[in-house]
């Protein structure tokens, strides 16, 4: 695949302002995983603090953030597998999110299907799993939009379903140019919604999530159903929606 080369100087001419609320989903189990180990709320709080003290620390700009925002930026934890804009290993964190909740749910649906596709011996869960969706407010004057201008000419590289080499090289150059966030088209959302890769926690405009929702996601063979209680929303995805990725197409 053609891999474009962008230098920090070239990226400096593409810098724009980015502002808005962006959605991310996490498994709701993070809220109750320690509850069954203790007998009181005070004991649970103490246990969670003890666990927190054993984890890697945060960069200065992330230390007073809500943990939902700060967690992707932890120092010292080895990133086991590379992602679109982050290399594997002990690399700088990236906060991924979506402009629309439907895009964030599509991203989660894809990766849940991919997990079970690559683990054929793992039975599908019988019940729906609960997820917390939260919106982070982001504002930076040091952003890039990979869907616009000269950067859009390399869209094939930014949107490759499995090869992230060009995107990771771009993220390296963007950091060197002082870029804090990059907008890009979701490869997983069937309608191509807008995603953001926040490269620095300095790009958060609020220290806590500004909105929260609870979603129930049920996996069946070949499709996913997602339901939000309030506001009432229902989304559905099938394997055909993600046929652009050869791992699911197979």
DSSP string, 184-209: EE-SSSTT--EEEEE--GGGBSSSS-
Residue 53 in any domain: the answer is: no
Nearest to 94 by CA among 208, 17, 195: 195
Residue 65 in any domain: the answer is: yes
Per-residue pLDDT band for 6 (boundaries 50, 70, 90) equals: very high
Residue 51 in any domain: the answer is: no
Residue 42 in any domain: the answer is: no
Number of domains in the chain: 1
pLDDT tens digit sequence for 70-109: 999 987 667 888 999 999 999 999 999 999 999 999 999 9
Over residues 196-200, mean pLDDT: 98
Neighbouring C-alpha atoms within 13 Å toward the C-beta of 5: 0
| Whether pLDDT at 42 is above 80 | no
For residue 98, the enclosing domain spans 8-30+58-249
Q: Say what the pLDDT of residue 40 is.
A: 53
Whether residue 50 contacts residue 170, with contact meaning beta carbons closer than 8 Å, is answered with no
Residue 39 in any domain: the answer is: no
Over residues 26-42, mean pLDDT: 58
Handedness of CA 42, 45, 51, 54 (dihedral sign): negative
Strands (E), the chain: 16-27, 95-98, 129-145, 181-185, 194-198, 211-220, 223-228, 233-238
pLDDT tens digit sequence for 98-153: 999 999 999 999 999 999 988 888 888 999 999 999 999 999 999 999 999 999 99
Residue 40 in any domain: the answer is: no
Q: Say what the pLDDT of residue 44 is.
A: 44
pLDDT tens digit sequence for 225-240: 999 999 999 999 999 9
Residue 224 in any domain: the answer is: yes
Residue 148 in any domain: the answer is: yes
């Amino acid at each position: 695949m053609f891999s474009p080369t962008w230098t920090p100087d070239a990226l400096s001419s593409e810098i724009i302002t980015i502002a808005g609320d962006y959605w991310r989903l996490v498994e709701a189990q993070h809220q109750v995983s320690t509850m069954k180990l203790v007998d009181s709320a005070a004991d649970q709080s103490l246990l969670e603090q003890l666990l927190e003290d054993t984890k890697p620390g945060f960069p200065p700009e992330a230390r007073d953030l809500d943990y939902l925002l700060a967690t992707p930026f932890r120092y010292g934890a080895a990133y086991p597998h590379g992602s679109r804009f982050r290399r594997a290993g002990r690399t700088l964190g990236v906060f991924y999110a979506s402009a629309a909740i439907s895009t964030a749910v599509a991203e989660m649906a894809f990766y849940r299907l991919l997990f079970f596709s690559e683990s054929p011996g793992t039975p599908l869960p019988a019940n729906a799993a609960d997820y917390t969706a939260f919106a982070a407010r982001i504002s930076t004057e040091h952003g890039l939009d990979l869907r616009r201008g000269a950067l859009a000419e390399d869209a094939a590289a930014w949107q490759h379903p499995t090869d992230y080499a060009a995107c990771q090289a771009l993220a390296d150059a963007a950091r060197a140019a002082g870029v804090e966030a990059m907008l890009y088209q979701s490869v997983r959302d069937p309608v191509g919604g807008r995603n953001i890769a926040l490269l620095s926690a300095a790009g958060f405009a609020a220290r806590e999530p500004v909105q929260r929702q609870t979603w129930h996601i049920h996996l069946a063979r070949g499709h996913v159903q997602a339901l939000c209680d309030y506001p009432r929303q229902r989304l559905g995805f099938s394997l055909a929606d993600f046929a652009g990725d050869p791992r699911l197409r197979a």
